[in-house]
Amino acid sequence: MTLPTVALPSGISVPSLGQGTWRMGEDRRRHADEVTALRRGIELGMTLLDTAEMYGDGGAEQVIAEAIKGHRNEVQLVSKVLPHNASRSGTIAACERSLKRLGTNHIELYLLHWRGRHPLAETVDAFETLQRSGAIGAWGVSNFDVDDMEELLAVPGGKACATNQVLYNLTARGIEYDLLAWSAEHAMPIMAYSPLGNDNRMLRHPSLQRIANARGVTAAQVALAFVLARPGVIAIPKATGLDHVAENRAAADLSLTAEEQAALDAAFPPPRRKQALEMI
């Protein structure tokens, strides 16, 4: 089955399920397995690959470079500039380094990893320069809350922001209070990082296990299906084993019932008030 897609403001569509690379590229002994996992994910339709200059100090971008050899036209790349590099000249230089590590001349989506000391206007100006040169296709942000997004849109060119990548999973549902609705109102997709949590504690929850056992799937697949069911949300889980890659892909074909959604809401309650944006 073909993966559902989510449209970016530019009109370009990307798979609603991609592949993350956080913690990849940190150990040469795992390099071959990481490359193999990414290639298998691409074969299964998870062609949106998310990385950052921070991941493995550029090592994750090098893993992607090897994984996409011979398949560059089949994938969409996302990378990120660190806040301390996000001045006008610093953003351009960081992007050039990422392009070199990725072995390409174009990044489909380039993000500001989180807010730092450099004015947003400088970063946006750099993004626009990179777009005009063809180095990037679109730009966005990461770890921005509603007030940050409002400030961004007030900056010249800020309304061209294509996406906001934030932490979102069953145990981190704070964005459901306001950011998800705000993003939908502005036709700006959310990219959910760590959709399976940052450890295995969430996946051991009895309610999640009961649903998984009844459906004959894994707890991780139920948790991922929960995120993928949200309109306008793109999930980017990481997997370094072939079984895990296949498990993630199968989760996109899992539709949760209203009763299962209600059970998850009871076990992992949605927010009732504004919460500080969670980050890891």
Burial zone of 64 (CB within 10 Å; 0-12 exposed, 13-18 middle, 19+ buried): buried
Quote the pTM value: 0.96
Q: Which position among 55, 110, 168, 193 bears the catalytic label?
A: 55
Model confidence at 216, pLDDT cuts 50, 70, 90, reads: very high
Contacts of 225 (CB under 8 A, 6+ apart): 251, 252, 254, 255, 256
Q: What is the pLDDT of residue 2?
A: 87
pLDDT mean across residues, the chain: 97
Residue of 109, 183, 114, 189 lying closest to 153 (CA atoms): 183
pLDDT for 227-276, tens place per residue?
999 999 999 999 999 999 999 999 999 999 999 999 999 999 999 999 99
Examine the pLDDT at 114 and tell me if it is beyond 80.
yes
Q: Binding site: what residues are annotated?
A: 113
Q: Binding site for substrate: what residues are annotated?
A: 113
Is 55 among the residues known to form the active site?
yes
The domains of the chain, with CATH numbers, are 13-199+232-239 (3.20.20.100)
Examine the pLDDT at 167 and tell me if it is beyond 80.
yes
